[in-house]
Structure 1
Amino acid sequence: MPQLNPSPWFAILIFSWMIFLIIVPPKILAHSFPKEPTPLNAQKAKTASWNWPWQ
C-alpha cells in the first residue's frame, strides 16, 4: 500500500509548505494598491445630547 510509505508524501508536504511560507508572501505583499486610504480629519466629532420633547 503506497499510502503507508510516508517518505514521498512527507517531502511533498514540506515542499508545499516551503512554497506557501517563503515564496508566496513576498509576491502578495509586493502588490501596490492604487488608492491608499488617507485620514480625512483627525479631530474628534462633536456629539450633542438629544432633547426629547416627550420626556
Structure 2
Amino acid sequence: MPQLNPAPWFAILVFSWLVFLTIIPTKVMAHSFMNEPSTQSAEKPKPEPWNWPWH
C-alpha cells in the first residue's frame, strides 16, 4: 500500500510549507492599496438625540 509510505508525503508537506512561508507572503505584501486610509481625529462625534414621539 503506497499511502503508508511517509517519505514522499513528508517531502510534499515540507516543500508546500516552504512555499507558503516564503513565496506567498512576499507576493501578498507587495500589493499596494489604491486608496491609502486617512487618519481620523481622536475626538468622537457627539450623537444627535432622537426626536421620536414616544406614546
Classify the TM-score, shorter chain. 0.7 to 0.9
CA distance in 2, matches of 1:4, 1:17: 21
TM superposition shift of 1:45 = 1.8
TM superposition shift of 1:37 = 1.1
1:25 alignment partner in structure 2: 25
CA distance in 2, matches of 1:9, 1:48: 62
Gaps of 5+ in 2: none
1:6 alignment partner in structure 2: 6
Gaps of 5+ in 1: none
- Structure 1 stretches of at least 4 aligned residues deviating more than 6 Å after TM superposition: none
Q: What fraction of aligned residue pairs are identical, expressed as a percent? A: 62
TM-score norm. by structure 1 comes to 0.74
The count of corresponding residues between Structure 1 and Structure 2 is: 54
Cα RMSD (Å) of the superposition?
Answer: 1.9
